[in-house]
Amino acid sequence: MEREKFIPMEDGTLYSKRKGFTPLHVPPLKEYAKIVGEEPIKKLEDVSERLSGMKMLELSSTPLGGGVAEMLHSSVPFLNSIGIDDEWKVIKGSKEFFEVTKTMHHLLQGKKGKLTAEDEKIYFSAIKENVALDIIDYEPDVVFVHDPQPLALARELKRGDVRWIWRCHIDIDEVALRRNPRLWDFITYWAEAFDAAIFTAAYFVISQ
Residue 87 backbone dihedrals phi, psi, to 5 degrees: -105, 160
Residue 130 belongs to domain spanning: 9-204
Q: How far is Cα 151 from Cα 153, in angstroms, rounded to an integer?
A: 6
Looking at the domain assignment, is residue 4 inside a domain?
no
Looking at the domain assignment, is residue 42 inside a domain?
yes
19: confidence class by pLDDT, cuts 50, 70, 90: very high
Nearest 5°: the CA angle 169, 191, 109 is 40
Looking at the domain assignment, is residue 14 inside a domain?
yes
Looking at the domain assignment, is residue 1 inside a domain?
no
Looking at the domain assignment, is residue 2 inside a domain?
no
Looking at the domain assignment, is residue 179 inside a domain?
yes
Q: Tens digit of pLDDT for each residue in 85-114?
A: 999 999 999 999 999 999 999 998 888 889
Looking at the domain assignment, is residue 63 inside a domain?
yes
Pairing, β 163-168 against β 196-199: parallel
Residue 203 has pLDDT above 60, yes or no: no
Q: Tens digit of pLDDT for each residue in 168-199?
A: 998 887 787 788 889 889 999 999 999 999 98
Percent above pLDDT 70 for the chain? 94
Number of domains the chain contains: 1
Query: What CATH number has the domain bearing residue 183?
Result: 3.40.50.2000
Looking at the domain assignment, is residue 154 inside a domain?
yes
Q: Tens digit of pLDDT for each residue in 35-94?
A: 999 999 999 999 999 999 999 999 999 999 888 999 999 999 999 999 999 999 999 999
Q: How far is Cα 119 from Cα 135, in angstroms, rounded to an integer?
A: 22
